[in-house]
Amino acid sequence: MKNSLTIAFIGGGNMAGAMLGGLLGNLCQPQDILVVDPNQETRSAWESKGVATAAAASEVLSQYKVWIYAVKPQVMQQAIHASHRFLQKDTLVISIAAGLTTTSLAGWLDQAEPASATRLIRCMPNTPALIRQGITGLYAMPDVPSSDRDLAQDVLSSIGEVVWVDNEAQLDAVTALSGSGPAYVFLFIESLIAGGISLGLSQEQAQRLALSTLKGASLLAAGSEDPPARLRENVTSPGGTTAAALNRFAQAILQDWYRRPCRRLMTALPKWHRSRPQPASPLKIQERNNMNTTRFEKMTIKQTLLAVAIMGLIIVSSNILVQPQFHINAWLTWGAITYPICFLVTDLLNRRFGPARARRVVSIGFIFAVLASYAVADSRIAIASGVAFLTAQLLDILVFDRLRDKSWWKAPFIAGWLAAIIDTFLFFGVAFAGTDVPWVTLATGDVGIKLIINAMLLAPFRVLMWNLGRPRSVQA
Ligand SMILES: NC(=O)C1=CN([C@@H]2O[C@H](COP(=O)(O)OP(=O)(O)OC[C@H]3O[C@@H](n4cnc5c(N)ncnc54)[C@H](O)[C@@H]3O)[C@@H](O)[C@H]2O)C=CC1
Ligand SMILES: O=C(O)[C@@H]1CCC=N1
């Protein structure tokens, strides 16, 4: 480990550039910095400043005390997956990504190194960091040691002011206000310059007047005991030109242009990560293009055969145990108790090997479901069993995949319940609708018990997700 403060930026784009502009020659020297960025041009720009670069995460990252994740939110999960195995116990992780919560980030980091995930700080800087005039909102998870908070504060103070927030949601407000704020101000400057030019000033005159006005007004507001509203009134003579301009200007610009986007941004931010397909999409695209992903373990033929055998055994047993001699009472069969275990198997396969391979095992299981039902019952029941099995399993795989990055229990629980309901009513409906069998009563009893068993299967899922259900690439 180097002696001076060493910082690795994962993502060396605009914001990393602004932060490094403030840090270099101040808190750090170029030799203390590493920039990991797949973009060749970006790396060359950093190398020309004497900063070490890498195209991808590697062992060298472990020498850096502070890691700043400065990638776009949509590639964050991928960037963490590629780098987290090099985390050390004392690495301080800082994320500057907008809208990604510490819960998501810690979840992604935790998969490799639980101890490091607690040293996680989220922050929201802004581009004036480049000239050490930035302001950064900071939020630390409750168990982050004070030494790490101090270190984060030192790093970010070197590029401007810092504001700690106690409540993570406030960081979204910081993003809307000061994170994005420079863009609002630059647009305002552009508008002032364009307005000045349209009134007969030269570009240079208009620019000087606009910039100096903004600088002077900002300094006055920062140094004055009067609130900005009072300072505005001081400029505005009743019935004068300023009042006339402000009437249109304040409404048209400050309200429509600033407040609404700001509010919209604030309400949009928490949903941002959820609503956009990007966080999972690089991995999903990879999965579609290449089943041998780094996120999911490749499934060997032996593993496939074993999974199919286990799935087949549960399906065949359940088909036998659903027969009249195994009815526990008028509305419950032993088959209803064993069958949900199929979904536990699918979920573990999905978690470890990914949805494509889980679907492959389920497709072979489907053949078992039809054959097994056909052997013990008539063709209508066999069709019902096959249709219900396939539909419910594919739904389970889809929903599980969508929820896999949420809290550990959400994917198996929600996917399992939806699948159990669809499975039961499809099976009983297709098999018995229009016959004398009291299928609605049977289905209701059946679904009730399946839902309870599904909830109980969360315990084995929780135990097995760390070994049987854990991708080997994540174990590394
Ligand atoms: N630009 C701004 O004013 C602010 C940005 N932020 C946050 O900073 C983050 C970065 O934003 P910008 O710098 O504007 O984006 P950017 O696009 O300029 O930079 C992102 C960099 O990440 C690199 N990258 C992509 N995939 C990568 C991977 N897997 N591993 C390592 N590097 C990878 C890209 O090549 C690019 O150079 C975002 O999460 C944003 O929310 C926060 C505050 C202000
Ligand atoms: O536009 C963005 O997403 C980032 C967040 C704050 C400033 N830029």
CATH number of the domain enclosing 143: 3.40.50.720
Test site for ligand 2: of 180, 186, 187, 262, most ligand atoms within 8 A of the Cβ: 180
CATH number of the domain enclosing 406: 1.10.1760
Closest-lying ligand to the alpha carbon of 181? 2
**What ligand 2 atom has the least distance to the C-alpha of 72?**
3
33-49 average pLDDT score: 97
Domain that holds residue 414: 301-465
152-179 average pLDDT score: 95
Closest-lying ligand to the alpha carbon of 125? 1
- Å from CA of 417 to ligand 2 middle: 38
- Å from CA of 77 to ligand 2 middle: 17
With tokens 């998870």, the residue in question is: 141
Same domain, 406 and 361: yes
Confidence of residue 111 (pLDDT cuts 50, 70, 90): low
For the chain, how many structural domains are there in total? Answer: 3
Closest-lying ligand to the alpha carbon of 57? 1
Asked if the structure places residue 216 within a domain, the reply is yes
The pLDDT tens digits of the residues spanning 398-448 come to 999 999 888 889 999 999 999 999 998 898 888 888 887 778 887 888 888
295 or 351: whose pLDDT is higher?
Answer: 351
Q: What is the mean pLDDT of the chain?
A: 85
- pTM greater than 0.80: no
CATH number of the domain enclosing 220: 1.10.3730.10
Test site for ligand 1: of 71, 75, 130, 156, most ligand atoms within 8 A of the Cβ: 71
Same domain, 12 and 107: yes
Last residue in a domain, options 129, 163, 178 = 178
Test site for ligand 1: of 34, 72, 105, 131, most ligand atoms within 8 A of the Cβ: 72
Same domain, 257 and 353: no
- Å from CA of 187 to ligand 2 middle: 15
Same domain, 197 and 68: no
Name the percent of the chain lying above pLDDT 70.
86
**What ligand 1 atom has the least distance to the C-alpha of 125?**
43
